[in-house]
Amino acid sequence: MISRIATASLGLVLGGSSVFAQSLADAKKAIDAEQYQKAKSMLKNLTTTQADKDENFFYLGWVYLKQDYTDSAKTTFNKGIAVNSKSALNYAGLGAVARLDKDNAGATTNFNQAIALAGKNSKPYQYVGEAYLLPLTPDGKISPADANAAIAVLQKGKAVNAKDADLLITLGNAYRSQLKSNEAYQAYSDASTIDPKNPAAKVATGVLWKFANNFEDSEKQFQDALAIDPNYGPAYREWAETDNRWANTDPKMASTKIKQAVEEYKKYLSLTDVSVESQMRYADFLISAGQFPELQTVAADLAKSSKTNLRVYRYLGYAAYENKDYPAGVTALNTWMTKADPKRIMPRDYLYMGRLQMASGQDSVGINTLKKALELDTTQTEVYSEIAKSLYGQKKYAQAGDAYKLVTQKGGRNVKLTDYFYEGISYYFGYDPKNPSTDTLLTKADSAFSYVIQKTATSPYPDAFLYRARVNDLKEKDRNNIQGFAKPFYDKYIELITAKGAPDDRSKKNLAEAYVYLGNYYTFKEKDAAKATDSYTKARDNDPTNKQVQAYFAKQGGAGKSK
């Protein structure tokens, strides 16, 4: 169990920190290995024992940044500048904080200052580049503009020092974010040539292959990294992420690869510091892997810690929803969203809160929360469908029709023909014959059913014809002067259902409805009593309880009784 590992390992790391060499080089190596607690302990010591060295403050601030403590990072970078007003690295750090705070002007000013002060040192260029690659969106994608800005500054850094392997790896990451695989591979290859013992270059190459779904070669790169350094934790983390992607790509491998991914991530944790922060990274992985029972266990253990980061309530909320513990989920996410810095709230938080509220019977509140999620992240197209289904369930049919219209317009690849069908049904039920303003809903419904019929021409969908007939029947304003708008659609429905053989009970009632319509058509439009009686007889054969059938034959004196 992770919590037991955490308790044991954390004590060893923190309790034994005094035995580690207190050099900046060792602290930087710990950062690269994602041993952030170890690095933080060393750097805090260095900022005391070597308080005149601005680099110590920068790397401590960078650790805070990696752990999502931007306020602490900003304070530490400013301390570094207080030590050395020309500290290029600390200006790069302040730019990174400003960018995460969405202060574009502040980010640009600080980045420019960092580069102006860099001189022949390539490191400020590297970290300005890394700052541009810090993700600002929940999906972790880097915008082309940010990637191009990173590439531009990293190329300038490369001109300053073409032998900086870490800068080249960052350059490769910038290219990789934009799917420029050839350029990324060249940068990683150059880094490995310069520093063959750098496991980070191997891991980065493995990640490149992962996104190409070349999983076997990806794993070889992680194995090569571990051959260089068997204790290099990031290799196991990326291996876990790769196996998770493999599982999602190849259903036959899903079960095996998910299990392997979880074990690899636990190995990663054992090689880092198993701190609260690293366990939260594990929690993020469990969300992407869909391992919600394990997530709930990890989150519950984290919640017991006196040093708990508020973010644990996000994990508790997500896990509770997926595990159908809705009241606990609402409580947890409410704690997170009301107490956390607003800058830390993600669209996905609103998404889960909305789902939890609707699952708890708070449909109207939940829909508004889901709409907030959509405002913040329009790529969450499945949310449109959730809103539509909820409105339909509440019998707010006109609103549901509009919501399904949004599904069909904005749902992208997630759109199904059933979405068009429910768009039509919603508008159909939203029509009120006593309210002329709802007449437009019939036109919208007819259009939706027409689309379904068109797209299922080779394999017709009977209910689309049934509902299109019902819509067109409602357009008949004078029942005694029937025009026959619905006739072709009821005819087609009868043809499709009878071709299948003996109908079920539901189809029998629908067939009776269709034959009753035809009976009325032949009575009032064609004035053909024989065809009218034949249609009503077929209606009665399918549903003798139909009230219109009973009324017709009562007028006929019981003629044409079914046998």
Of 6 and 298, the structure prediction assigns the larger pLDDT to: 298
pLDDT in tens, 118-135: 999 999 999 999 999 998
* Least-confidence region, from 232-241, 265-274, 496-505, 511-520: 265-274
Mean pLDDT of the chain: 90
Confidence of residue 138 (pLDDT cuts 50, 70, 90): low
pLDDT class of 250 with cuts at 50, 70, 90: confident
Q: What pLDDT shows up at residue 144?
A: 94
Sign of CA dihedral 209, 165, 239, 68: negative
Nearest CA among 165, 80, 158, 98 for reference residue 125:
158
pLDDT of res. 405: 94
State the pLDDT at residue 5: 32
Cα 2 to Cα 21: distance, rounded to the nearest angstrom: 28
At residue 558 the predicted structure's pLDDT band, cuts being 50, 70 and 90, is low
497, pLDDT greater than 60: yes
Q: Is residue 210 scored above 70 in pLDDT?
A: yes
pLDDT digits over 313-322, tens only? 999 999 999 9
> What digits encode the pLDDT tens for the residues 425-474?
999 999 999 999 999 999 999 999 999 999 999 999 999 999 999 999 99
For the entire predicted model, the pTM comes to 0.65
pLDDT band at residue 6 under the 50/70/90 scheme? very low
The one-character DSSP state at 522 is I
Mean pLDDT, range 540-544, rounded to an integer = 96
Residue 306: predicted pLDDT = 56
DSSP-derived secondary structure for 298-365: HHHHHHTSTT--TTHHHHHHHHHHHTT-HHHHHHHHHHHHHHS-GGG--HHHHHHHHHHHHHTT-HHH
Tell me the pLDDT tens digit for each residue of 40-98: 999 999 999 999 999 999 999 999 999 888 999 999 999 999 999 999 999 999 999 99
Residue 302 has, within 13 A of its CA and on its CB side, a CA count of 25
State how far the alpha carbon of 313 is from the alpha carbons of 170, 273, 323, in Å: 33, 22, 15
| Segments in 229-308 forming alpha helices (H) | 233-249, 254-271, 276-289, 292-303
pLDDT of amino acid 400: 94
